Amino acid sequence: MNQDYTIRLETKNDYREAEQLTREAFWNVYRPGCLEHYVLHVLRDDPAFVPELDFVMERDGRLIGHVMYLRSEIHGDDGRVIPIMTFGPISIAPDCKGQGYGIRLLRCSMEAARKLGAGALAITGNIGFYGKSGFVVASTCGIHYFAQPREAEVPYFLIRELEPGFLDGVTGVYRDPEGYFVDEAAAEAFDALFPPREKRKLPGQLV
Ligand SMILES: CC(C)(COP(=O)(O)OP(=O)(O)OC[C@H]1O[C@@H](n2cnc3c(N)ncnc32)[C@H](O)[C@@H]1OP(=O)(O)O)[C@@H](O)C(=O)NCCC(=O)NCCS
């Protein structure tokens, strides 16, 4: 792929367009409608938000991608709290999906996170996409997802070291930062500020 895009930090002027893009990318994918544009809206004010890792991808004068990062932690079985990071929502405009933009945005932002000192990233997502960028199922490394029994293999809870060896000797439990658990009624009210769209129940949705 020729580089026909730029990746830069999000500015206040991008907020609405990035939220619109996020809404378009997630709409009816995991549930009828989506919450992610509201998640993005509120997470920018979250204490865990990392402004140095809030990126937009631009092509031909419009935003075609966005990703943001949050500080998070693993609660180690030995009592340590291990600071790591997570990210998301990550979005690519529907008409640009499947053309390699998402993987480029992910890799560019992961490199920036590494330079900022993040030792590892955790994410709930599809191994089909994230596995291509070095993520593995976290339970196979002894890092467990708070919402599932410890003995369960949770195929959608993934982890990746950015600093080799960072997770050596670490086992424990991971919980998503509080900011991701948004109030659905508030999300609904926020969504009403956008052009109306039909919510559809589709096969493959999670909710
Ligand atoms: C997920 C998303 C960011 C991926 O971006 P994209 O530009 O479409 O993905 P790419 O074209 O860079 O794909 C890279 C590779 O990952 C694979 N891939 C992409 N999305 C995938 C998915 N949802 N499931 C499985 N594999 C996927 C592609 O097939 C491609 O594989 P290949 O290199 O063998 O051809 C984008 O599709 C999107 O915005 N989806 C809706 C929102 C979403 O689900 N965000 C992630 C939530 S965890």
Domain assignment present for residue 60? The answer is yes
Domain assignment present for residue 36? The answer is yes
Please give the number of the atom of ligand 1 that sits closest to the Cα of 130. Answer: 16
Cβ of 103 less than 6 Å from ligand 1: yes
For position 153, what pLDDT does the model report?
84
The closest residue, in CA terms, to atom 20 on ligand 1 is: 129
Domain assignment present for residue 200? The answer is no
pLDDT band for position 87 (50/70/90)? very high
Spatial distance between the Cα atoms of 140 and 163, rounded to a whole number of angstroms? 18
**Cis before 89? omega within 30:** yes
pLDDT band for position 27 (50/70/90)? very high
Domain assignment present for residue 185? The answer is no
Please give the number of the atom of ligand 1 that sits closest to the Cα of 97. Answer: 8
With 90 as the cut, is the pLDDT of residue 47 above it?
A: yes
Domain assignment present for residue 100? The answer is yes
Give the CATH number for residue 140.
Answer: 3.40.630.30
Lowest mean pLDDT among 20-24, 143-147, 151-155, 192-196: 151-155
Taking the centre of ligand 1 as the mean of its atom positions, its distance from the CA of residue 128, in whole angstroms, is 8
Cβ of 99 less than 6 Å from ligand 1: yes
Spatial distance between the Cα atoms of 142 and 44, rounded to a whole number of angstroms? 31
Domain assignment present for residue 147? The answer is yes
**For the residues 127-135, what does the mean pLDDT come to?**
97
Domain assignment present for residue 133? The answer is yes
How many domains does the chain fold into? 1
DSSP-assigned letters across all residues of 40-62: HHHHTTSTTB-GGG-EEEEETTE
Cβ neighbors of 177 (< 8 A, separation 6 or more) are 46, 48, 70, 71, 72, 86
Domain assignment present for residue 158? The answer is yes
Angle (nearest 5°) at CA 29 between 56 and 3? 30
Spatial distance between the Cα atoms of 67 and 108, rounded to a whole number of angstroms? 10
Taking the centre of ligand 1 as the mean of its atom positions, its distance from the CA of residue 81, in whole angstroms, is 31
Q: Identify the helix (H) or strand (E) that includes residue 161.
A: strand 157-161
Q: Look up the domain containing 147 and give its range.
A: 6-176
* Cβ density class 53-86: b for 16+ within 10 Å, e for less: bbbbbeeeeebbbbbbbbbbbbebeeeeebebbb
